[in-house]
Amino acid sequence: MALISFVKLWRRKIRKAGYLKDQNGIIKRYYREFDNWNLHIENCKSFIVNVTHESHGGKVAILGSGWLLDIPIKYLEQKFDEIWLIDINHPIQIKRKYENNRKIRFVNYDLTNGLVEKAVNANTFNDFNIFLNKSELVNLETDFDLVISINLLNQLDILLCDYLQSKFKLNITVLTAIRKRIQQNHIDFLKKYNACLITDSMELLIDDNSIVEEKNLIYCELPKATQIDSWIWLFDTNKYYHVKYNTSFRVKALSF
Ligand SMILES: C[S@@+](CC[C@H](N)C(=O)[O-])C[C@H]1O[C@@H](n2cnc3c(N)ncnc32)[C@H](O)[C@@H]1O
């Protein structure tokens, strides 16, 4: 009974902060933009296949696994003994699909290391900020042969900053410092492992096929990579994400 209440309470908090709505939005946009998204998804999968082609057994963690759209899951099942899917929430459809798969383990975890709960609970921005400044790196209390961070890095700061901004009305300087801290913690965590990072790096606003604005989405230095790739993801061609423009992302993939 106590456990059920705890899970319910946790879902209430992440719903309040917008995480469940955002995850549902991903799958809706995926079907709306099917062909455009598939190019990006195939690029993600190819990069992961290249990074793992010499792997034999062991444990892989997938951070931001969500709907598993961008993960070559069948391929990874052949390569690894254990696949840990780590996300703040796992869609019920994905849990049902893989619940009897003995290689796959689901972990519900806030990869900002508690900042989401703190943001929801905080009565003042200062409460949150004290916690942020003391925040430590995520500790998953187990080792991994490979950690894959998949289309997550800037989601960590964007979703949380959107919530903080609506709750506390913060200025751009404060928001930028929060973004930097969150991203730096994530990169520092990844650097402890053999890691693969795939992330949006620039947001491109498009009007009549030309770029009208470019926005940087990375607030810290990315690690030196042994393999690297980059491509454009046609994210929204229906002006849903921005009312006036279509949106694309420049995506970077690195292994280190
Ligand atoms: C853009 S999606 C990545 C795509 C995903 N692989 C898929 O196929 O759905 C970002 C994922 O990161 C998760 N996420 C966002 N913030 C998180 C956090 N603080 N901790 C853990 N997961 C988070 C979201 O729930 C979502 O599933």
Of 33, 47, 90, 155, best ligand 1 pocket probe by most atoms within 8 Å of the beta carbon: 155
Pocket lined around ligand 1, Cβ cut-off 6 Å: 19, 23, 26, 64-70, 87-89, 110-112, 116, 150-152, 155-156, 159
Select from 246, 218, 252, 215 the least CA-distant residue to 232: 252
Q: What is the pLDDT of residue 209?
A: 86
122-134 residue pLDDT tens: 999 999 999 999 9
Which protein residue has the closest C-alpha to ligand 1 atom 6? 65
Atom of ligand 1 nearest to the CA of 69: 8
Distance of CA 217 to the CA centre of its chain: 13
Categorize the per-residue pLDDT at 7 as very low, low, confident or very high, splitting at 50, 70 and 90: confident
Atom of ligand 1 nearest to the CA of 112: 19
d(Cα 21, Cα 29) in Å, to the nearest integer? 12
Distance 155 CA to ligand 1 centre (A): 7
108-120 residue pLDDT tens: 999 999 999 999 9
pLDDT at 168 over 60: yes
Distance 110 CA to ligand 1 centre (A): 10
Q: What is the pLDDT of residue 3?
A: 65
Considering only the top CATH level, what class is 2-255?
alpha beta
Contact 152, 64 (CB under 8 A): yes
Select from 93, 77, 72 the least CA-distant residue to 196: 72
Planar angle of CA 135, 139, 143, nearest 5 degrees: 155
Atom of ligand 1 nearest to the CA of 156: 16
Which protein residue has the closest C-alpha to ligand 1 atom 16? 156
29-73 residue pLDDT tens: 999 999 999 999 999 999 999 999 999 999 999 999 999 999 999
Q: What is the pLDDT of residue 222?
A: 96
Six-digit token string for 20: 């469940």
Categorize the per-residue pLDDT at 227 as very low, low, confident or very high, splitting at 50, 70 and 90: very high
What's the mean pLDDT in 190-218? 96
133-163 residue pLDDT tens: 999 999 998 999 999 999 999 999 999 999 9
d(Cα 9, Cα 11) in Å, to the nearest integer? 5
d(Cα 79, Cα 2) in Å, to the nearest integer? 38
Spell out the residues 6+ positions from residue 214 whose beta carbon is closer than 8 angstroms to its own. 202, 203, 204, 205
Atom of ligand 1 nearest to the CA of 19: 25
The enclosing H or E element of 93 equals helix 92-98
d(Cα 69, Cα 88) in Å, to the nearest integer? 16
Tokens 């810290």 found at? 220
In 3-state terms, what secondary structure has residue 204? Answer: strand
Q: What is the pLDDT of residue 51?
A: 97
Of 152, 203, 247, best ligand 1 pocket probe by most atoms within 8 Å of the beta carbon: 152
d(Cα 119, Cα 179) in Å, to the nearest integer? 14
Categorize the per-residue pLDDT at 1 as very low, low, confident or very high, splitting at 50, 70 and 90: low
